[in-house]
């Protein structure tokens, strides 16, 4: 036994010595090659496959934009050399394990003698090392590994694949030109497998997309889908081809590519369903009936549940094109509430609802939908979100001005009625209030408003019987509906009862107390109460008329300049011109109508132009019409509004108040409609206080508050008025 043990130990020692990486023998070479391939690298490659599968499963494509050819999320900062090459940057997860195994294979099993590697698996280890680093977004260390293989193993079996990975890494490092050169040189070889050729063309397409060379990207993507050696990339390339063709307005070619995705049996289902959606986007308005039936089937298909948010949204677009507005709104809302709805898709559905309500002049509702977009948006710096932010901010002005316009219109229409007309108007109003209140009482009889069961004859045995009010869906629905009817859409915040705070801050000088609100509520059906609220003093009526006219002018400007809705802007200005006792806004309204009609009706445009030239020949608007180049040249002259204001302000600083009043008054007429006019008005008000007194000062401030409600000067005037009252 002792002799046998000694012999066995000697054999083991001989085997270990013969398998040393320091000894170039047949046994050593084959031992380390097999160990590297079937032990170390096998485990590393399996881990790499796991990491790749995780990336493909977790990567969320934004199908509303051009898909990246390679689904890899790369943070911006990781493309800088300093960040990537930092010793603190380390891979994690499956790719870290794959990198560890690659390094182990190289360090423990490399057999390099006199500059020649005798372990045929070491080049595979370097390639795996580079790929693991690539998918960890560590591109500089990755390209070092690929460069090492190309330099030291030029005849390796995987050299072509390594060159493709090197080129892809160069694209990630924004060195697209070098990547294109090396890939074209590689494709000149006549001994490449089809899989390598397709991978090279895919990488070339990546480089050309990065340089915005769309046609060249299309050319190489077409060559990358001749076979389907990589089924996932094949389907993805076909889908991207369809998207790229659409950017060139080649709709037939785009649909052909999407049809190939749908027909390709190995396509991932997400590409198939989104190809159906893309074809719907491509389809012209006249061919929507067939699409309507198709999307109805897709929505009913249980396999499409993960995509319902997008299917509902597209169904809404189709319904809107077919003038089925109610169906469109229903589909958009279903898109938002779909179980697996993504935030980006939700924001698009919210935007569709907001835009629809905006076009219907339901500005408060539209604003609520735009608020919903901004509350879930993550791409706050994108062009789309910035545009929505601007539109939402402008909506505040629209809501304020529309509220003023509609309120003052109503008041003035009642003032214009005789006593009999006023009585008939308010009697009708009281009858409508009684009907509304009766409907509420019916609702309250059906559903309790506190704790307890719904009191109906039909649901005594229902599932909601015996549940708390806030667990009863129907009760909540009725309560929410009633709340919206009374209060409208309110954000969760302090002082939520105040719907438009800017209106209260800038247009009301008195606060309504809780006691006064109770008094108003108690006289809900009192005809005499309503009749007593009608203004009778001419000063009050004139003030209301000025507010109405100013609101219409501001609305015309907003719709013209900020929203570019010419038809609505024209309506506002035309109505403004039809109002009696309206001298302030006649000239600027004619000018804006002259500009608005220029692209619609030259006859009407010329009519407003002639009105300006005939009635206001010395005005700045007439100067702009007759000699626009001269007016532009004067922008930096002493006659420019800003310089005139500066000179007037210096007069005020020198306490020359009488001159300030005179010059400011003249400038207000000269620059009528210019944004600088409220500044002249405020400067004039301050000077009136010094020359005439507090009464004139207060009247001037009130005029600013009414005439220029959405300006900083109006806010300052409101503050000064409150101080005067104290």
The pLDDT tens digits of the residues spanning 202-256 come to 999 999 999 999 999 999 999 999 887 788 899 999 999 999 999 999 999 999 9
pLDDT digits (tens, 9 = 90+) for 116-133: 554 556 777 778 888 889
More confident residue, 648 or 78: 648
**What pLDDT score was predicted for residue 391?**
83
Q: Is the pLDDT of residue 331 over 50?
A: yes
Query: What is the predicted pLDDT for the residue at 163?
Result: 92
Question: Worst-scoring range by mean pLDDT, 75-89, 319-333, 602-616?
Answer: 75-89
How do residues 449-463 score in pLDDT, each as one tens digit? 333 444 343 444 444
* Each residue's pLDDT tens digit, 262-317: 999 888 889 999 999 898 888 865 577 788 888 999 999 998 998 999 999 999 99
Residues of the chain within CATH 1.25.40.10 domain(s) are 636-725
For 666-703, write each residue's pLDDT tens digit: 787 777 667 788 888 899 899 988 888 888 888 888 88
Top pLDDT among 199 and 472 is at 199
Cα distance between residue 50 and residue 134, in whole Å:
15
387-395 long-range Cβ contacts below 8 angstroms, 24+ apart: 388/351, 390/562, 391/563, 392/367, 394/558, 394/562, 394/563, 395/358, 395/363, 395/366, 395/367, 395/370
Tell me how far apart the alpha carbons of residues 459 and 473 are, in angstroms, rounded to a whole number. 13
Mean pLDDT of 329-334: 94
Burial 566-594 (b: 16+ CB within 10 A, else e): bebbbebbebbeeeeebebbbbbbbbbbb
- Give the phi and the psi of residue 138 in degrees, each rounded to 5: -110, 80
Averaged confidence pLDDT in the chain? 78
pLDDT, one tens digit per residue, over 34-50 is 555 555 666 777 888 88
Instruction: Say what percent of the chain tops pLDDT 90.
Output: 23
How many residues make up the chain in this entry?
Answer: 726
pLDDT band of residue 477 (cuts 50, 70, 90) is very low
Per-residue HEC secondary structure of 206-270 comes to HHHHHCCCHHHHHHHHHHCCCCCCCHHHHHHHHHHHHHHHHHCCCHHHHHHHHHHHHHCCCCCHH
How many whole angstroms separate alpha carbon 412 and alpha carbon 419? Answer: 14
Q: pLDDT at residue 600 above 70?
A: yes
| Residues forming beta bridges with residue 270, ordered by sequence position | none
Taking the complete model, does pTM exceed 0.75, yes or no? no
**% the chain with pLDDT above 70:** 75
Reported as a pLDDT band with limits 50, 70 and 90, residue 638 is low
Fold classification of 636-725 is 1.25.40
pLDDT digits (tens, 9 = 90+) for 421-437: 888 988 888 888 888 88
Q: What is the mean pLDDT of residues 55-75?
A: 82
Q: Is the pLDDT of residue 628 over 80?
A: no
Residue 162's closest CA among 134, 120, 130, 204? 130
* Residue 219: C-alpha distances to residues 201, 209, 222, 261 (Å): 9, 11, 5, 18
Amino acid 105: pLDDT: 65
354-413 tens-digit pLDDT: 999 988 888 888 888 999 999 888 877 888 888 888 888 878 878 888 888 888 888 888
pLDDT attached to residue 35: 54
Contact, 591 vs 608, CB < 8 A?
yes
């Amino acid at each position: 036994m002792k002799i046998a043990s000694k012999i066995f130990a000697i054999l083991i020692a001989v085997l270990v010595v013969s398998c040393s990486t320091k000894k170039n023998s047949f046994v050593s070479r084959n031992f380390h090659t097999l160990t590297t391939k079937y032990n170390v690298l096998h485990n590393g490659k399996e881990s790499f496959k796991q990491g790749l599968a995780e990336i493909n499963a977790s990567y969320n494509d934004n199908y509303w934009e051009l898909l990246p050819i390679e689904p890899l999320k790369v943070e911006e900062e990781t493309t800088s050399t300093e960040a990537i090459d930092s010793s603190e940057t380390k891979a994690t997860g499956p790719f870290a394990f794959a990198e560890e195994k690659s390094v182990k294979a190289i360090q423990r099993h490399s057999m390099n003698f006199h500059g020649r590697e005798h372990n045929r698996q070491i080049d595979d280890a370097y390639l795996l090392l580079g790929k693991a680093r690539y998918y960890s977004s560590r591109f500089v260390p990755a390209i070092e590994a690929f460069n090492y293989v190309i330099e030291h193993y030029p005849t390796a079996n995987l050299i072509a694949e390594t060159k493709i990975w090197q080129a892809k890494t160069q694209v990630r490092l924004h060195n697209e030109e070098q990547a294109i050169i090396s890939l074209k040189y590689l494709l000149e070889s006549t001994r490449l497998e089809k899989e390598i050729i397709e991978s090279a063309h895919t990488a070339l397409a990546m480089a050309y997309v990065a340089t915005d060379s769309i046609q060249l990207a299309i050319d190489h993507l077409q060559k990358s889908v001749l076979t389907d050696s990589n089924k996932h990339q094949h389907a993805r390339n076909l889908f991207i081809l369809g998207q790229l063709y659409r950017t060139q307005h080649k709709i037939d070619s785009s649909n052909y590519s999407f049809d190939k995705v749908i027909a390709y049996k190995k396509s991932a289902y997400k590409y198939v369903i989104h190809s159906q959606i893309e074809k719907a986007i491509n389809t012209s308005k006249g061919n929507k009936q067939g699409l309507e039936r198709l999307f109805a089937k897709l929505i009913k298909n249980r396999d499409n549940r993960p995509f319902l948010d997008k299917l509902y949204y597209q169904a809404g677009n189709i319904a809107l094109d077919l003038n089925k507005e109610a169906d469109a709104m229903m589909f958009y809302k279903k898109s938002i509430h779909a179980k697996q709805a993504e935030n980006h898709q939700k924001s698009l559905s919210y935007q569709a609802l907001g835009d629809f309500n905006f076009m219907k002049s339901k500005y408060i509702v539209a604003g609520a939908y735009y608020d919903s977009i901004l509350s879930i948006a993550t791409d706050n710096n994108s062009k789309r979100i910035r545009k929505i932010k601007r539109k939402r901010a402008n909506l505040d002005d629209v809501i304020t001005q529309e509220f003023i316009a509609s309120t003052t219109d109503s008041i003035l229409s009642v003032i214009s009625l005789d006593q009999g007309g006023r009585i008939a108007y308010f009697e009708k109003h009281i009858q409508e209030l009684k009907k509304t209140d009766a409907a509420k009482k019916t609702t309250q009889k059906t559903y309790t408003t506190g704790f307890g069961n719904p009191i109906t004859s039909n649901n005594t045995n229902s599932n909601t019987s015996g549940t708390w009010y806030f667990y009863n869906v129907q009760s909540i629905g009725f309560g929410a509906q009633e709340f919206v009817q009374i209060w409208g859409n309110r954000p969760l915040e302090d002082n939520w009862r105040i719907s438009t705070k800017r209106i209260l801050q800038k247009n009301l000088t008195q606060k309504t107390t809780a006691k006064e609100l109770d008094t108003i509520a108690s006289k809900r059906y009192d005809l005499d109460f309503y009749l007593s609220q009608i203004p009778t003093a001419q000063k009050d009526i004139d003030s209301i008329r000025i507010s109405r006219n100013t609101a219409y002018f501001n609305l015309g400007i907003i719709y013209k300049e900020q929203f570019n809705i010419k038809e609505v802007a024209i309506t506002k200005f035309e109505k403004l011109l039809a109002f009696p006792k309206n001298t302030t806004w006649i000239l600027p309204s004619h000018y804006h109508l002259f500009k608005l009609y220029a692209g619609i009706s030259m006859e009407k445009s010329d009519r407003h132009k002639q009105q300006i030239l005939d009635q206001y020949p010395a005005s700045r608007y007439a100067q702009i019409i007759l000699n626009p180049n001269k007016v532009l040249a004067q922008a930096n002259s002493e006659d420019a509004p800003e310089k005139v204001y500066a000179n007037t302000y210096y007069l005020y600083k020198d306490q020359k108040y009488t001159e300030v009043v005179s010059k400011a008054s003249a400038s207000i007429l000269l620059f009528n409609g210019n944004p600088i006019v409220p500044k002249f008005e405020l400067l004039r008000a301050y000077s009136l206080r010094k020359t005439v007194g507090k009464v004139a000062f207060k009247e001037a401030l009130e005029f600013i508050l009414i005439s220029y409600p959405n300006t900083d000067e109006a806010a300052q005037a409101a503050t000064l008025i409150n101080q005067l009252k104290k």
